[in-house]
Homo-oligomer: A and B are copies of this chain.
Amino acid sequence: MLIVKKFGGSSVADKEKIYHVAQRCIEDYQKGNEVVVVLSAMGKTTDKLIELAKEMAPNPSKRELDMLLATGEQTSVACMAMAMGALGVPCVSLNAFQVAMHTTSTYGSARFKRIDSQRIRHELDSKKIVIVTGFQGMNKYDDVTTLGRGGSDTTAVALAAALKADACEIYTDVEGIYTGDPRVVPNAKKLKEITYDEMLELATLGAKVLHNRSVEVAKKYGVQLVVRSSLNTAEGTIVKEEVDVESMLISGVAVDKNTARIAVIGVKDVPGTAFKIFNLLGKHNINVDIIIQSIGREGTKDISFTVARDDVSEVIALLEENKSRITAQRIEKDETVAKVSVVGAGMQSNPGVAAKMFEAIYNAGINIRMIATSEIRVTVLLDEADADNAMRAVHDRFIEY
């Protein structure tokens, strides 16, 4: 069996942890499996490198930032290979150039285009454990790229697809995917299985266990994932195309506090206004989430939407600059909001999920500010201060114990 195993930065933060991971990989190897290990940078290395970059230049070149950040994973794969070597197991570390992991050219958020499997195949054939740098790639200019935060998950899934691996295991510091954040909802339950689509909604909504892009790639290439703990051998959560129809109505409740509401007040009620606003933001790579358009006074309307908090100042600046073109009377922002969502493939065939959710929130005495829905998700925007209570109320309403 060919197994791709991915370990995050906290799992390889120091010598002891590296040896622990090495042992786990060696167990699989000694059972006769082919093992490919994908690693993130050790501990807080990436944060420290970003600090170093900001020290060097207030606004460092994105190309050079990727060049710098890539040293983090190169350090961790070399250390892991030293550890496995000391344990007497043949192994080799490879960086993105050595594998040849080709990506698009966008520094800081590159996407895989093609991964050569030849070098890894050769090393596996030589009976070595292969240890690959996560998070990084090379573009058509032979420059170093990175995939963005959490990108090592995507590396693991893309490698599993390229190598036609039999298993892709994502190790983390929790035991799997839960129906809610266990820190907020003490009785959250671990899911046995979840679909790619549900996982995508949860990842987007801030569940933070799996990198969103990794789930997209897994879905596209049909790579079945297991999310499990690097600390124990508990069964994790399987992420796959379809799950048992008898499974729960909803698979999880997520909270996302990294959100802000922007309101564009009093724009002319003529065609094309919304297009102008969102085209402007799209050109600047700003992701917009919930959008609400409401009728204002005297032939005007108000357009509200949510964006990530990091983007707020840029969004406000852009809108103010273009205020007359988009015919806005006033721009407002509110950074004290949060999103609570229920996600579940089951809700497609079960009407009334939204109503049940609103009821739970109403019973908790919490006011809903905006609402958005997809086929497998219902999201409400509410005051950040109410978010955790709302999450517990919704979780209690849907998850059976």
Whether the Cβ atoms of A81 and B58 lie closer than 8 Å is no
Known: A56-B79, A57-B82, A58-B86. A93 touches B74 (CB 8 A): no
- In the assembled complex, the Cα of A341 lies from the Cα of B259 at a distance in Å of 72
Complex Cα distance, B56 from A86, in Å, reads 8
Measured between alpha carbons, how far is A97 from B74 in the docked complex, in Å?
Answer: 14
A83 touches B67 (CB 8 A): no
Chain B hits for A78, CB < 8 A = 53, 64-65, 67-68, 71
A67 & B56 in contact (Cβ 8 Å cutoff) = no
A residues contacting B by CB (< 8 A) are 15, 18, 49, 52-53, 55-61, 63-65, 67-68, 70-71, 74-75, 77-79, 81-83, 85-86, 92-93, 95, 97-98, 119, 142-144
Contact across chains for B79 and A52 when beta carbons are under 8 A apart? yes
Residue of B nearest to A98 (CB): B142
Give me the 3 closest cross-chain CB pairs, A-B, nearest first: A57-B86, A68-B78, A71-B71
CB neighbours (8 Å) of A49 from chain B are 75
* B-chain residues with CB within 8 Å of residue A61 when the two chains form the complex: 81-82, 85
CB distance from A312 to the nearest CB of B (A): 26
> Chain B residue with minimal CB distance to A122?
B141
With a cutoff of 8 Å between Cβ atoms, the chain B residues found around residue A85 in the complex are: 57, 60-61, 64
State the Cβ distance, A287 to closest chain B Cβ, in Å. 27
Q: Is the CB of A82 within 8 A of B53?
A: yes
Nearest chain B CB to A11 CB, angstrom units: 15
Query: What is the CA–CA distance of A70 and B142 in the complex, to the nearest angstrom?
Result: 17
Tell me which residues across on chain B come within 8 A of A67, comparing CB atoms.
74, 77-78, 81, 93, 95
Distance in angstroms between the alpha carbons of A71 and B78 in the assembled complex = 10
Task: Please list 11 pairs of residues, one from A and one from B, whose beta carbons are closer than 8 Å in the complex, sorted by A's number.
Answer: A64-B78, A64-B82, A64-B93, A65-B82, A67-B74, A67-B78, A67-B93, A68-B74, A71-B75, A71-B78, A97-B142
Q: How far is the CA of A68 from the CA of B77 in the complex (A)?
A: 8
Chain B: which residue is nearest A59 at the CB level? B86
Contact of A92 with B63 at beta-carbon distance under 8 Å, contacts A82-B57, A86-B57, A142-B119 already known: yes
B82–A60 touching, CB < 8 Å: yes
Give the Cβ gap from A20 to chain B, nearest Cβ, in Å.
13
Given A75-B68, A93-B64, do A15 and B56 touch, yes or no (CB 8 Å)?
A: yes
